[in-house]
């Protein structure tokens, strides 16, 4: 048992979650706090960040936040310094700032040729560069420490073509590739104490996609039904179902795992539909 406690040791670890005011980061932050970690949230949205910090402070008096755009290098650097001044180390980085954008999606009745390049750029900027830049800044401390776990967020959209979701899918595929590349770079140059992995959540029912996937009476929309038909578990996932995998990737329980993309999808990615 002592061996297991040591493996899953998260207590007192310093964890940064970008997009910390968001739905998934909020669930993960709750998991980290319950496991005894010290959580730092970064988010561009001050109002939502304050609301999330207030809620999490009911669980811990050691959770702090910074309003920060993950694409703003100067701001990330100043937040980095503030974190080092306070904790003097960084153990875990979860890059959860990201998401789809309407402009980068093929609308109903449209085709790919209606998409604006500027909109595609925005979704790539946020999902790819918004993952790369925090790694370049916070990852340096991990390189100096020769220890750390970085967890990026991909999506089922990178595995298979999900109709309409054009730019986001390409951006998440790039996040996966960078995850693998960075895993190799960190291990070769700074040792096996630094690991870089990603999770690829499947279809989770959240407030953002509820009307896309379900009708007002709770029944499935056509798109929702198609997804469930392609999911062996025959249901959507719950945001809290990410917590176990994230804590595993963050802890020494996954000590020999790097460059992996872990699907959390009720079997969606492996199902042929037959
Ligand atoms: P969310 O919109 O609830 O959270 C994203 C957070 O990122 C928001 O609080 C937002 O303010 C913040 N953010 C946006 N731009 C930012 C920037 N430039 N700098 C800092 N913060 C910024 O979304 P979510 O559902 O919690 O998604 C989190 C991650 O998980 C995203 O990368 C998303 O693509 C991915 N994902 C979500 C699902 C899902 O079903 N919800 C599935 C697969 C992958």
Do residues 78 and 145 both lie within one domain?
yes
Whether residue 272 is contained in a domain is answered as no
Q: Is 153 a pocket residue for ligand 1 (Cβ < 6 Å)?
A: yes
Residue with tokens 């492996």: 270
* CA dist., res. 29 & res. 34, Å (int): 9
- Average pLDDT rounded to a whole number, residues 114-132: 97
Q: Taking each helix axis from N to C terminus, what angle separates 23-34 and 243-250, rounded to the nearest 10 degrees? A: 60
Residues 6+ apart with CB under 8 A from 96: 17, 18, 19, 20, 22, 24, 25, 28, 153
Do residues 180 and 230 both lie within one domain?
no
Residue 141 pLDDT grade (very low, low, confident, very high; cuts 50, 70, 90) = very high
- What residue numbers bound the domain in which 134 lies? 2-202+240-263
pLDDT at 76 over 70: yes
DSSP annotation of 235 reads: S
Whether residue 269 is contained in a domain is answered as no
Do residues 9 and 136 both lie within one domain?
yes
Residue nearest atom 38 in ligand 1 by C-alpha distance: 201
Do residues 161 and 232 both lie within one domain?
no
Give the per-residue pLDDT at 1: 61
In the predicted model, what is the mean pLDDT of the chain?
96
Give the per-residue pLDDT at 128: 98
**Cα-based angle 174, 31, 241 (whole degrees, multiple of 5):** 65
226 versus 4: the higher-pLDDT residue is 226
Do residues 145 and 20 both lie within one domain?
yes
DSSP H or E run through 149: strand 148-153
* CA dist., res. 158 & res. 109, Å (int): 23
- Closest by CA position to 67, among listed 128, 131, 122, 21: 21
Q: Candidates 17, 18, 19, 157: which one to mutate for ligand 1, based on the most atoms within 8 Å of Cβ?
A: 19
Q: Is 271 exposed, middle or buried (0-12, 13-18, 19+ CB in 10 A)?
A: middle
Residue 243 pLDDT grade (very low, low, confident, very high; cuts 50, 70, 90) = very high
Do residues 168 and 211 both lie within one domain?
no
The SS3 call for residue 67 is strand
Q: Is 159 a catalytic residue?
A: no
Do residues 182 and 228 both lie within one domain?
no
- Average pLDDT rounded to a whole number, residues 39-63: 98
Do residues 168 and 217 both lie within one domain?
no
DSSP annotation of 88 reads: S
Q: CATH number for the domain including 50?
A: 3.40.50.720
Whether residue 196 is contained in a domain is answered as yes
- Average pLDDT rounded to a whole number, residues 126-149: 98
Do residues 178 and 228 both lie within one domain?
no
Do residues 40 and 78 both lie within one domain?
yes
Q: Is 230 a pocket residue for ligand 1 (Cβ < 6 Å)?
A: no
Catalytic residue among 159, 168, 236, 268: 168
Residue nearest atom 39 in ligand 1 by C-alpha distance: 204
Whether residue 123 is contained in a domain is answered as yes
When divided into structural domains, the chain yields a total of: 2
* Ligand 1 centroid – CA 122 distance (Å): 14
Question: What percentage of the chain reaches a pLDDT higher than 70?
Answer: 99
Instruction: Convert the pLDDT of each residue in 199-224 to its tens digit.
Output: 999 999 988 788 889 999 999 999 99
25-29, 208-212, 227-231: range with lowest mean pLDDT? 208-212
Do residues 134 and 256 both lie within one domain?
yes
Do residues 124 and 215 both lie within one domain?
no
DSSP annotation of 108 reads: T
H helices present in 67-129, as ranges: 73-87, 117-124
């Amino acid at each position: 048992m002592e061996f297991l406690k040591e493996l899953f040791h998260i207590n007192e670890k310093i964890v940064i979650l970008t997009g910390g005011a968001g739905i998934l980061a909020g669930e993960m932050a709750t998991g980290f706090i319950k496991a005894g970690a010290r959580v730092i949230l970064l988010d561009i949205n001050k109002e939502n960040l304050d609301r999330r910090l207030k809620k999490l402070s009911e669980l811990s008096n050691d959770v702090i936040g910074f309003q920060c755009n993950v694409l703003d290098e100067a701001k990330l650097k100043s937040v980095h310094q503030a974190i080092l001044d306070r904790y003097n180390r960084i153990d875990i980085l979860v890059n959860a700032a990201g998401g789809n954008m309407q402009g980068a999606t093929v609308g109903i009745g449209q085709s790919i040729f209606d998409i604006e390049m500027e909109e595609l750029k925005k979704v790539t900027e946020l999902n790819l560069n918004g993952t790369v830049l925090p790694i370049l800044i916070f990852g340096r401390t991990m390189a100096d420490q020769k220890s750390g776990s970085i967890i990026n967020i991909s999506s089922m959209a990178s595995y298979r073509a999900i109709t309409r979701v054009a730019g986001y899918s390409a951006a998440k595929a790039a996040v996966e590739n960078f995850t693998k590349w960075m895993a190799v770079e960190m291990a070769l140059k700074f040792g096996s104490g630094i690991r870089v992995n990603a999770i690829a959540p499947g279809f989770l029912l959240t407030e953002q996609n509820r009307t896309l996937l379900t009708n007002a009476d709770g029944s499935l929309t056509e798109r929702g039904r198609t997804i469930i038909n392609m999911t062996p578990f025959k249901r959507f996932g719950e945001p809290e179902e990410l917590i176990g995998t994230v804590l595993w990737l963050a802890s020494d329980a996954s000590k020999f795992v790097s460059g992996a993309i872990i699907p959390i999808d009720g079997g969606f990615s492996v199902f042929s539909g037959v």
